[in-house]
Structure 1
Amino acid sequence: MTAADPFGTSALRDATLLAWGTSPTRLREDAATESDLVRGGYRDRVLTELAQNAADAAARTSVAGRLRVELDGDRLSVANVGAPLDESGVHALSALRVSGKTDGVGRFGVGFTAVRSVSDEIEVRSSSGSVAFSAARTRAEIERTGLPEPDHGVPVLRLVWATEEAPAAGYDTEVVLTLRPEVDGGALLTAMTAEAVDLLLELPALQSIRIGDREFVRTGRELDGGLTEVAVGDRVWWQYAATSARWLVPVSAGAVQPVGGDVLRAPTRSDEELSLPALVVADTELQPDRRRIMPGTAIGHLAYGYAEFVAALPISERLALVPLPGFAKGEVDEQLREAVLRDLAGHPWLPGSAGRDLRPPEAAVLPGLTDELADLLVDVVPGLLVPALSGPAGARALAAVGVHRLGLARLADQLSGIERDPAWWARLYDALTPLVVDALAVEELAAIPVPLTDGRTVTGPRTVVLGHDLGAAGRGVDWMRLVHPDAAHPLLTRLGAGSVGALDVLADPALRRRIEDVDEWEDENDPTAADLADTVLPLVAAATGPLPGWLGLLPLPDDTGELRAADELLLPDAPLRAVLVPDSPFGTVAGGVVDEHGAGALRALGVGWGFAVLRAELPTGPEHDLADETDWWATLSDDPEVLVAVRDLDLVDPEAWPAALRLLASDPETAGLLTDRDGYTAWWLRRHARVDGVPLGSLRAPDEGTFAGLLDPLDHPDAAALAGALAGERVDSTAMAELLLDRLADRGRTPTPAVIARTHRLLAEATAAGGLDLDALSPPARVRAVDGTVADPSDALVLDRPWYAAAIPADRLVVGDLASAAALADLLDLPPASEAVHGEVTGPGRAGDWASEPSAVLASVVSGRPLPVGAVVVHEQLTVRLTGAVRAEVEVPWWVDESGRTHVDVRGMGQGVADGR
């Protein structure tokens, strides 16, 4: 029974056989062409070509395309849904060089030749009719006609036969291939499985592909910005349909995964390698084997809309789709890369901090930009990109499209001249801090503007200083380049700004010049004076440590409205007022100033409460307007490093000294100066301060016994604190020497012999040291002997040799220290005992030496004193005859005669050892 032939296959065979018979060359050409296509362009495209036919069939009937591939032994079945086989399709299948395609991507054209790479027996079963191609039947026909078989084998796809086979159930068309023995069906199926996902991406008319037991299904959903999310199994792509191409990029966990390398898909995979970060699927003219673009084909238009694709992506993902610099993989890749970069450069897709997308030429990136910094700079830097694109990961991509890289130095330049409040600058410094990571960054920001307390904004942190712990107290400072407190930030220190405390600001010479420019201070309504006071006094309150003395010149209003220097004013309730003379030059500071700035700051500035203290570093002379300063300076051997002194002591009311001393002792600042005997304060008080009419220098502290019985103790509750201003343990002035000499001559005073001897020693030492003006001292009318007797100078002798102590009566001896006896004799105008009295030893003695005398050795051991060396004359009873100022014959324990020999009474050997030579 003959099979139905709806497509006229018999006539097609007859026409082909007639052509071959008429022109045997045509047979060889057909065989060669088919062989070339099988071995060349279509050698590995079986599934691709059949999938394209399936996609076209589905598109023609607007159904969701399905493709099924099954292997049963050596028979491979590829079935699809959609438009069935028609006559033009049969003609195309058997024509070899033409296609029945009018639209779509591949409808039974030359690509069907790919099946010949695996099969010699091919069936196309369709619901509209089925056909078959057979190498065996074609060979038999050629032999029947007597034509020689071509060298390349018979052209199987030129002769077609009608068959009765129907397609698999549920499908409209089925291609059945009987695999040649050398074809590995399992490997072929594995290779087709690897192609399935790509085919679903390339051929949107196909919705699913089943290969064996595995089914691949493509799903999609619309996203914002024209994107479509395409998924095949657990693999996801974002797709954008531009004017001339579809662009796809893999996505994982919401982040794009640039492909790195692919091929041009037109629409299925070609051999044109690309290095673009996204897949491109486009219709473009290919060579017959669909592996290469036709020479001369323009492809630049395929890039139109690429920037729109990138702009549709989330901001954080956009730079991933910028082609990075590198070698192109071929001419097509080079052309398409350049076209993509042109499209990116010419359209807005880079998100700016101002909220709109920018073209690369108008954009700028600040590496390391943060959200905080972007908020601050959005109105300052035109075209600033958002922080999400400003990290190091996107630097190459931005450079590839020509985005300007904004360095810190350029940023500093752009900040120059802008007007912002100081708090804005502080926020800027804080936001810039993470970007300043090395010395280069520090150098680049050397010109960043800095707002000052005087309202100016200057260039460069290296020219300014930060107020350390000043807080709001620094506001209004205009005599130095002080950073406004609201703008102060540690970054400025790293950039070279100095640091000052309140004391440094107050000690600035520029402030001193301001204050000393007294012509400005006309009245209390002078705003310049008031503003300066309002600026200085908070700094004074914030300062720690002693202030420069010249700050006391700061003009402040007094209670009458007149401007006066601060150190000429007293606080309204100052206790100092009660101890000053009635006509003191001090005024009273205005109460409003006290209320506004507080008594503490005013006192520190120099407004009087108690006594003011002057402090001067490295003074060079008596130029500080202190009473009797020149006289005190003359007592110094060297200029002091620091002069600290209580001022205005000469203004104390003489009757108020007890209260004044109490005030001095109760103030820690002045109390410390009372202990410095050599300092100006204690020196002046010793000379001029009086209690009950007695100078402080004539009084001693109650627990100070050096001159007990000669000087009276101070009767004052703060006597101990005033010790430095009282008589001390030495004779330090001619006046003190005169006082002590008078007190020694006063019979009404009863100092102990020890005090008498100590006082004479101190007087003698002061004389020997040149500390007394002897010309200013008159010889005393009476002198004090060591036993306390007040003696006439004509009877008194100064002890200058130890052996005279036992020979001369104590009521005639004036005793100090043997070493300074000559100076004491000079001071008192008395003769030394050794010059006024001569002694002659009477009676025989025994000559010997100290080492031979047992009693001398024993006395040395017992007393712990060294044994004298040399000769000694030992007497059973030593008697000396005195002549001169004293005439008597006296018994003594030891004596040294005029020849220098030592005589010792045997009973006084111990004293001889102690005092002998």
Structure 2
Amino acid sequence: MTTDAFGTAALRGAVLEAWRASPARLREDANTEEDHARGYYRDRVLVELAQNAADAATRAGVPGRLLLRLATTDDGTAVLVAANTGAPLDAAGVASLASLRASAKRDAGTGTVGRFGVGFAAVRAVADEVTVCSTTGAVRFSLADTRELLEGTAAQEAAHGRPGLADEVRRRDGSLPALRLPWPTEGPPPTGYDTAVVLQLRDEVVRDEVRALLDGVDDVLLLALPGLVEVVVDVEDAGPRRLADVTGRWDVLTAEGEVPLALVADRPVEERAARAWRVTWARPRDGSAVPGVVHAPTPTDEPCSLPAVLVATLPLDPSRRHVVPGPLTDAVLDSAAQAYAQLVGRAAAEGADATAWVPTGLAAGAVDAALRERVVAALVRTPLLVPASPQDALVPPLRATLVRDLPDGPAVTALGALVAGLVRVPPSGLAAARALGVEERALAEVVDELPTGGDVDWPALYDALDVAAQDATAREGLASLPVPLADGRVVRGPRGVVLLDDDVAGVAPRTLEVLRTWGLRVADPAVVRPLLARLGARRLDAAALLAHPALRAAVLGQADDDDLDRADEVTAAVLDVVAAAGTVPADAVAWLGLLTLDAADGEPAPAHGLVLPGGPAARLLDDRVLAPVALDAVDRWGRDVLVAVGVRDDLVVTTVPDVVAGVAPDDDADDAAALAAASLDGWADYVDELADALGAGAYCGDVPAVADLDAVDDRRWPEVLAHLARTPDLRAALVTSVRGEGTAATAPSYTAWWLRTRADLALPEVFALPGSVALPAALVPPVPEVLAGLDEEALRALGGVGSLADVPAARWAAVLDLLGPVGGVVPLDVAGPVWRAWAQGAGPDEPPAVLPALTAPGVARLVDDAVVADDPRWWQCAGAQGVAVVPVPVAPGSRGAAGVAELLDLPLASWRLGADDDLSGAGEPEDVPDALLALLPDAPAQWWRHDDLRVVGAPVGWWVTGTGTQAQVHAVHVAGLASALAWATGRWAARGAVETLLTDPDDPDAALGLALE
């Protein structure tokens, strides 16, 4: 028999009476229940049931356990059971369930969650039949029973003339407030639980929705409802799933307190007594994602972008989905921010990356924005950043500094020992660090403030920074890194610092000290690490040290220093390095020669002004110009070291770099070119010679030259010349011509030029090479006696020629001067080679003032005016009208008359004397012999015999107008006819064979010669 232990009849009667009295009240209750079931609590049935369970456990002071079971009855009805431990159902509780916004928990004290008395309405979202079973009794709510009771009551009212209730029930169309009318029932809760809510799910769609909600139950439910210690989810075909002991999987921090009364003054009356606040933050230890909403304590629709679950007693609107702004909300958010900072600080102390907890980017809503602002303000003062130095404690962002170019890594750790407040921030945490206002400094700024004194482990620091220096930006930031030097100083910046290799280790410290005064900065060997070289320090062996500007400055400085002791110190230091190097860089030879050494007589002199005793230089050079070096210097340093710095053991080659024709180095300059040129006699005149030959400004590159030629003992010239010719490097400097960039012209080497122009050797401009032929002795003398024994290549470099065609253009004027005065007769065997040379491409670089020319047929004289014969016809006109003619030999490859005329700047004969058809004298035509025509098919068939033939007034033996078979051939005699026919047919070289055939047509040799010509 069912008992009414909770007075449900009285409750029903009171509600019905109210509805009778005011049908509008029915409408209001129905609408309110529908709003909650279909709106506010449409997806919260599990959360609200869990909240009631947590409150029941809290009221009873026992651990809350909740069972959520989804099962199907025998008749196929899906049932959701929510069983819990805690305070059992009582009459007040039933009354609360049957009312709206009249919670029975008003006086339950702190710790309970429910505050509005409407959460139970969430069951109506999924069920029309609801039963609440407890150890004290049971009650049920039924939409069907409510409809039946209301319809009966409405009919009674209508019978008494009060149709209002009936009209309202009809309008509702079955949508009635089922939770307002409780009914007594029977049934115990599941074993081990004190109360159970049993919901008969409305249909299959609802069943699927509830199952999805059950699948979503997780640890967050326990975190939000601390009154629960266990939740068991039992879905019929999946088996039970137990949730408990969340603190093992979550990092949880809870703070609580009480707000001043003034902060709740604007809240509803029944909330004003609830002044206690509580905030819980929880973050999964495995770093998994968290629900991004605020829990108050059940989930709201307010987003939260922080990487932790927030459960806070924030005031909510009636829907329990949104936080209500106001002083109470501000106070709770303030407390939440402080609690969050504590949680982050605790996590950081346990080794977690605190930057992952810092909010960055845009806020997700108004509440999220307000919370993030407070959180950042709290975190700024919380020790949470990892110090760069492992020995230091966590650093609050307010006092932290990070290196912008180098936020983390071994380099930061090393710098942390020297820079206070320096922290390590992973690249992923840079945005968080900026949000916290951490001071960012460039690596260069941090490096600038590194101490240069004190106990600094420089090798460890360099090793740590070496990895970072792989990045170009970081290398720039390390530009001012302090570097301890071997002399005890500490300089800023590796650039310009020298790292000495092992082969310099034996150099005396005094040597390095001397060189230091000239700017050499040598790193302390104990701190030498690859980083220094990567940042610009120069790793030098002894040979490379010789090329260092400090050594060069020291040598040039001591050369101008009157302090002999200081000069001796520099010399000794540099010779130490040379001895260690073994070889000297080519570009250092010139300035090393300025080292001051003692001569045998005790007087100081530059190294290149001294010679080694007993060597070729001492034998060949005048000791009044280059004195022997002191013997004690030879004993101390050795011959090889002294030779390496310029002391002469033999004649040497000095290379002048980057020579430009016509440009001599400044005498006051100390560059390599100036220093090299300073040791060469007449260099300025030589570059002018290059300008004449190659053109001013022509780039000639590096020019080798034999030095000290001006110091040769005059008695030793034959020996010197022979030595030059047989010594490879000296020979190359003698015989190698200089070429200008972009031109085919060449100029003599400096050595050859100096020997020809400045040496006391009396060399002619040109001379005939041994074995040369067709070189008139009147023009080209034989090899001078001083050059006897030299090979042809050496002789050519000094002016030897094999033919007039070999005479350089600049020397033709001197050659022509040998012919004598104007008007003098020039033998044809002398003039002929000159004319042939000009036709073959040789000739003066400027038109000569006098030249050999034919003044009459067969007579050559030296004249100052002439014309150039257009071709062999005009040779016969020599002397006509008083004009001298320069004949141009006809030969393959000849430059031709026009070329010779241009070379000599003379007019052509045809231009000066007139047209080539100005013939005088009558002639008689005759046939060309058939035998000759057979061999010269392109010859004309006729020719004109003349007794007297003149052209431009001069008697000639032959003349031709036109060419080939159309030519008109005129001749006075057989020899003339042969020349004319040879010229007309282009067979000039065969004129002798033609003459022979004209005389004897049957001569087989002449015929064969002409046929083969």
Identify the TM-score tier after normalising by the shorter chain.
0.5 to 0.7
Equivalent residue number for residue 126 of structure 1: 134
Q: AA paired with 1:126?
A: S
Q: Structure 1, residues 539-570: CA drift from partner, whole Å, max 9, x if none? A: 996756x6685553233577899754231234
Unaligned runs of 5+ in 2: 170-174, 257-277, 453-457, 506-511, 538-543, 668-676, 738-746, 821-826, 868-877, 881-918, 959-971, 989-1013
Q: Secondary structure at the match of 2:565?
A: coil
Partner AA of 1:565 in structure 2: P
Cα distance in 1, alignment partners of residues 756 and 297 from structure 2 = 114
Structure 2: which amino acid aligns with 1:322?
V
- The answer as to 2:956 corresponding to 1:902 is yes
- What is the aligned partner in structure 2 of residue 685 from structure 1? 755
Please state how far the C-alpha of 1:578 moved relative to its aligned partner. Answer: 3.4
Assess, with a 3 A threshold, how the Cα gap between structure 1 residues 644 and 847 changes in structure 2: closer, same or farther: same
**2:705–2:733 CA contact under 8 A, matched in 1:** no
- Deviation at 1:265? 1.0
Alignment of 1:505-904 (within 5 A): 514=557, 516-522=559-565, 525-526=568-569, 528-531=570-573, 543=585, 549=590, 552-555=593-596, 564-570=605-611, 575-588=616-629, 599=640, 603=644, 609-613=650-654, 615=656, 617=659, 618-619=663-664, 624=678, 638=692, 645-654=705-714, 656-665=716-725, 666-668=727-729, 671-676=732-737, 678-686=748-756, 701-702=769-770, 711-712=782-783, 714-716=787-789, 718=791, 720-728=793-801, 730=807, 800-801=854-855, 803-804=857-858, 848=921, 874=947, 900-902=954-956
Distance 2:389 2:336 in 1: 31
For 2:634 and 2:112, the matched residues in 1 are separated by 95
Alignment partners' CA distance in 1, 2:607 and 2:82: 108
CA contact (8 A) 1:506 1:539 kept: no
In the alignment, structure 1 residue 36 sits paired with structure 2 residue 26: no
For residues 591-619 of structure 1, the C-alpha deviation after alignment (integer angstroms, 9 at most, x for no partner) is 98999899589547676543343638522
CA gap of 1:689–1:167, structure 2 versus 1, over 3 A, is: same
Counterpart CA distance in 2 for 1:121 and 1:799 is 144
In structure 2, the CA distance between the partners of 1:216 and 1:667, relative to structure 1 (3 Å rule), is farther
1:328-355 deviation per Cα after TM superposition (whole angstroms, max 9, x unaligned): 634x444323222222222132334344
Q: TM-score, normalised on structure 2? A: 0.59
Query: Counterparts of 1:632 and 1:329 in 2: how far apart (Å)?
Result: 88
The aligned counterpart of 2:386 is 351
1:671 and 1:721 in contact (8 A); partners too: no
3-state SS in 2 of match to 1:52? helix
Matched position secondary structure for 2:297: coil
Alignment match of 1:401 (pick from 433, 436, 440): 436
1:385-424 deviations in Å (ceiling 9; x for gaps): 53523x5xx5554443323444xxx543444364677997
CA displacement at 1:358 relative to structure 2: 3.2
* Cα distance between partner residues in 1 of 2:518 and 2:594: 16
Change in CA separation of 1:873 and 1:109 when aligned onto 2, cut-off 3 Å: closer
Which residue of structure 2 aligns with residue 233 of structure 1? none
Aligned-pair distance for 1:635?
7.4
Give the 3-state SS of the residue equivalent to 2:104 in structure 1.
Answer: coil
Counterpart of 2:444, as a letter, is: A
Cross-structure match for 2:6: 9
Quote the residue 2:123 is aligned against.
Answer: 115
C-alpha distance in structure 1 between counterparts of 2:111 and 2:625, whole Å? 115
Per-residue displacement from partner, 1:45-104 (whole Å, max 9, x unpaired)?
332222223345667544764432335455634143534626587567568532274565
Contact 1:248 1:279 (C-alpha < 8 Å) held by counterparts? yes
In structure 2, what is the Cα distance between the partners aligned to 1:221 and 1:669?
97
Where does residue 672 of structure 2 map in the other structure?
A: none
Q: CA deviation at 1:26?
A: 12
Return the alpha-carbon distance in structure 2 between the equivalents of residues 382 and 856 of structure 1: 120
Residue correspondences, number = 785
Q: Distance in 2 between matches of 1:447 and 1:851?
A: 104
Report matched runs for 1:338-487 at 5 Å.
338-355=373-390, 357-361=394-398, 362-364=400-402, 366=404, 369=407, 371=409, 374=412, 377-378=415-416, 383-386=421-424, 388-389=426-427, 396-406=431-441, 410-416=442-448, 418=450, 431=468, 434=471, 436=473
User: Are 1:559 and 1:589, in contact at CA under 8 Å, matched by a contact in 2?
Assistant: yes
SS, match of residue 613 in structure 1: strand
Structure 1's 510 and 278: CA in aligned 2 closer, same or farther, altered over 3 A? same
Q: Secondary structure at the match of 2:426?
A: helix
Alignment match, 1:879: none
Structure 2 letter corresponding to 1:323: P
Match of 2:6, as an amino acid?
T
Quote the Cα distance in structure 2 between the aligned partners of 1:771 and 1:456: 75
User: Residues 143-179 of structure 1: CA distance to partner in whole angstroms, max 9, x if unpaired?
Assistant: 79x9999889998767767654222356553222346
Q: Distance in 2 between matches of 1:684 and 1:675?
A: 14
Cα distance in 2 for partners of 1:24, 1:865 equals: 150
Indicate conservation of the 8 Å contact 1:520/1:529, yes or no: no
Q: Which residue of 2 aligns with 1:97?
A: 103
- Which residue of the partner structure matches residue 888 of structure 1? none
Output the CA distance in 2 between the equivalents of 1:118 and 1:637.
109
- Is 2:207 the partner of 1:173? no
**Residues 422, 451 of structure 1: 8 Å contact kept:** no
Q: 1:324 to 1:550 in 2, by over 3 A?
A: closer
Whole-angstrom distance in 2 between the partners of 1:220 and 1:573: 105
Closer/same/farther in 2, CA of residues 329 and 674 from structure 1, 3 Å limit: closer
What is residue 269 of structure 1 aligned with on the other side? 299
CA distance in 2, matches of 1:680, 1:705: 29
User: Residue 217 of structure 2 corresponds to which residue in structure 1?
Assistant: 196
1:467-506 Cα distance to aligned partner (Å, 9 max, x none): 9x9x999x9798799999977878989xxxxxxx999976
SS at match of 2:189: coil
Deviations 1:217-269 (CA, angstroms, capped at 9, x unpaired):
466889xxxx8535xxxxxxx76656753334579xx665475x42x212221
Structure 1 position 213 matched with structure 2 position 233 = no
Q: Residues 134 and 196 of structure 2 are in contact (CA less than 8 Å); yes or no, is this contact kept in structure 1?
A: yes
Matched position secondary structure for 1:519: coil
Aligned to 1:878: none
Change (3 A) 1:256 1:343: farther
State whether residues 612 and 639 of structure 2, in contact with CA within 8 Å, keep that contact through their aligned partners in structure 1: no
Residue in 1 that maps onto 2:671? none
Q: How much identity, in percent, do the aligned residues show?
A: 25
| Conserved? CA contact 1:48–1:268, under 8 Å | yes
Flag the 1:103–1:850 CA change in 2: closer, same or farther, 3 A: farther
Corresponding residue SS for 1:909: helix
- Residue 304 of structure 1 is matched in structure 2 by 338
- Equivalent of residue 311 in structure 2, options 281, 289, 301: 281
- Partner Cα distance (1:637, 1:850) in 2: 59
- After TM superposition, give the deviation of residue 306 of structure 1 in Å: 1.7
Q: Does 1:324 align with 2:353?
A: no
Query: Per-residue CA shift, 1:340-377, capped at 9, x if unaligned?
Result: 22222221323343445433333436167563654565
Aligned-partner SS, 2:85: coil
Cα distance change of structure 1 residues 899 and 140 upon mapping to structure 2, 3 Å threshold: closer
Q: Which amino acid aligns with 2:237?
A: D
Q: Structure 1 pair 385/856, CA: closer, same or farther in 2 (3 Å)? A: farther
Q: Distance in 2 between matches of 1:98 and 1:860?
A: 150
User: What residue number does 1:809 align with?
Assistant: none
Please give the alpha-carbon distance, in whole angstroms, between the structure 1 residues aligned to 2:621 and 2:723.
12
**Contact map agreement 1:851 1:857 (CA 8 A) in 2:** no
Could you tell me how far apart the structure 2 residues matched to 1:104 and 1:372 are? 50
Q: 1:213 to 1:321 in 2, by over 3 A?
A: farther
